[in-house]
Amino acid sequence: MSSNSGLAKDGFFPPSFGARAHDVADGVSPSELAAQAAALGVPRLQLALMKSNPEVAKKLSIGLGEQFRVAFAEHGVSIAIFSCYQNLIHPDPEQREIILSTFGDYLRHASAFGARMVVSETGSVLPGLGFSTENHQPPAYADIVDSVIKLCDIAAHHGTLVGIEPGLNHPIYNLETTKRLIQDVASPNLAIVLDPFNLLRTEAAGGDAETDPANYLSLIEKAFNEFGAVIEAVQIKDCVIDQTGTTPNGIKSVPVGTGILPIKEAVEFINNQKPGIDIILEDTPAIHIPAALTAMGNN
């Protein structure tokens, strides 16, 4: 893998490490959440209100956002990713409009929370989500382009970004469809949140050389070569090979630093491409976060 020299490599602009808020602590006040995040060394959070604070997840207000922003700032913590994971291509048109309206509400209120980007995967033709071969067909792709264009128009009015996270089971399911979406939406308010794990499938499970975990670093490098300009955050998971054959992609997620992926090398490459970029731990409970940060090179 190639690497760039410069300030990032010399340590002036280290990665902005973070974690999912509901991995840090669940069911606590914003102030307590921020205190625990700061103590763990993850000053950037992916905040999914639907998981951490479901009672307010669909009742956003500027005042609520300010309460989170101020409480977080008191502990040197801020929001990297404001999550609104929804089925953006729900097959029922009325339900889809409700979903897009909810996402739009997050875009409108993001700045009050101190966030710039609202993020979702792209959904499924199945109402309850999940994989269908139809997710990879032209109608599903056309629907996600339409939805993302609508959301980017809202984001443009509020100075926010629509973050799209590709994943194998969704309409945007590989690097090619991600690049195509960027071109077809053609909006400066579209960003990509790259989760390389979500694009992995072993060859034994029906993947190919690009998606095999052995080529994890090459997948990341290709993503940055193809559309690095719009990657605004990277989510990091680790994995082991599933020897039981029970997982569809042939791998199982494990806490970062306990699996087979070359995490430190990946983080070094990513930060050399985009110094200071948000790198968010996933599937890594609080008890594992200190060791995970060490595995990522945060010494």
Whether pLDDT at 271 is above 90: yes
pTM of the model: 0.94
Q: What is the rounded distance in angstroms from the CA atom of residue 168 to the CA atom of residue 152?
A: 23
130 or 294: which leads in pLDDT:
294
pLDDT of residue 26: 86
Whether pLDDT at 81 is above 90: yes
The set of residues, in sequence order, having a beta carbon less than 8 Å from that of 182 and lying 6+ positions away, is 190, 192, 227, 230
Please state the rounded mean pLDDT for residues 230-254: 94
Whether pLDDT at 9 is above 60: no
Longest Cα separation, the chain: 52
Q: Which stretch of 5-9, 38-42, 51-55, 162-166 has the lowest confidence by average pLDDT? A: 5-9
Q: Are 251 and 259 in contact (CB under 8 A)?
A: no
What average pLDDT is seen over the chain?
A: 94
pLDDT of residue 2: 44
| DSSP conformational letter for 210 | T
CATH class of the structural domain 7-295: alpha beta
> Residues 134-143: pLDDT tens digits?
999 999 999 9
Whether pLDDT at 247 is above 50: yes
Percent of residues, the chain, with pLDDT higher than 70: 96
Whether pLDDT at 270 is above 70: yes
The set of residues, in sequence order, having a beta carbon less than 8 Å from that of 296 and lying 6+ positions away, is 15, 17, 236, 256, 257, 263, 264, 267, 279
The pLDDT-based confidence of 11 (bands split at 50, 70, 90) is low
pLDDT of residue 5: 35
Q: What is the rounded distance in angstroms from the CA atom of residue 292 to the CA atom of residue 226?
A: 28
Q: What's the one-letter identity of residue 76?
A: G
> Residues 142-190: pLDDT tens digits?
999 999 999 999 999 999 999 999 999 999 999 999 999 999 999 999 9
Surface-to-core class of residue 280, CB atoms within 10 Å of its CB (0-12 exposed, 13-18 middle, 19+ buried): buried
| DSSP conformational letter for 267 | H
Please state the rounded mean pLDDT for residues 224-247: 95
Q: Where are the domains of the chain?
A: 7-295
Whether pLDDT at 238 is above 50: yes
Per-residue b or e along 64-100, where b marks 16 or more CB atoms closer than 10 Å to that residue's CB: bbebbbebbeebebbbbbbbbebbbbbeeeeebeebb
3-state secondary structure of 238: strand
The pLDDT-based confidence of 7 (bands split at 50, 70, 90) is very low
3-state secondary structure of 101: helix
pLDDT of residue 3: 42
In the numeric block, the tokens 């989760």 are attached to 195
296 or 128: which leads in pLDDT:
296
